[in-house]
Amino acid sequence: MHVKFELGDLVIKNKNEDNAYVVVFVDKNRKYQIMQVMPLIRVSMIETVSENEIKLSAKEGSLCYELVMALIMREREKRGWTEKPDFLFEIEFNKNPRTSNINNDLSVVRYDRIGNIDECLDALNDLRLLHKRFGDEVYLQLYEVVEKRLKELV
């Protein structure tokens, strides 16, 4: 299988060149999961796009890629976001899921890959309760991810 984009490549959407994304997963049907890296947001949601919806901005490892990533990390640090960006966890995990440095943390839930409808419904309930309890906007964003996954499963 020849893929146009690879894990870690920086891409932009054909319809919105203002935002930059990084490819975090490539499936066998040439569907790509991407996460927004610019403009900066603290928690980036995973989107699934087809090959014809995006175009290459920089290949991973290229000088342009390294400059953009350095800029992103510097800006995150200026904002006080010292934790490792979520998109880097995704890339690392998907490059080698068995030996990644995530330590196979079972507390990491991949809401976009929930396996069945019952698990989606449980996750929706849990996220609603977490948002009600803690008021964090992230739970609403994850709720939307689970709703999308539920629609895919139905």
Average pLDDT over residues 116-126: 89
Same domain, 114 and 104: no
**133 and 95 Cβ atoms separated by less than 8 Å:** no
Planar angle of CA 108, 112, 115, nearest 5 degrees: 90
- Whether 49 and 56 have beta carbons less than 8 Å apart is answered as no
Q: Are residues 59 and 19 part of one domain?
A: yes
pLDDT at 106: 45
Q: Are residues 22 and 47 in the same domain?
A: yes
Question: Looking at the structure, do residues 22 and 54 belong to the same domain, yes or no?
Answer: yes
Q: pTM for the whole thing?
A: 0.62
| Strands 31-38 and 10-13, sheet pairing | unpaired
Same domain, 93 and 37: yes
Mean pLDDT of the chain: 84
List the domain range (segments joined by +) for residue 93: 1-108
Q: Are residues 52 and 3 part of one domain?
A: yes
Measuring CA to CA, which residue among 57, 12, 5, 55 is closest to residue 31? 5
pLDDT tens sequence across 38-96:
888 888 888 889 989 999 999 998 999 999 999 999 998 999 888 888 888 888 888 87
Residues 129 and 83 in one domain: no
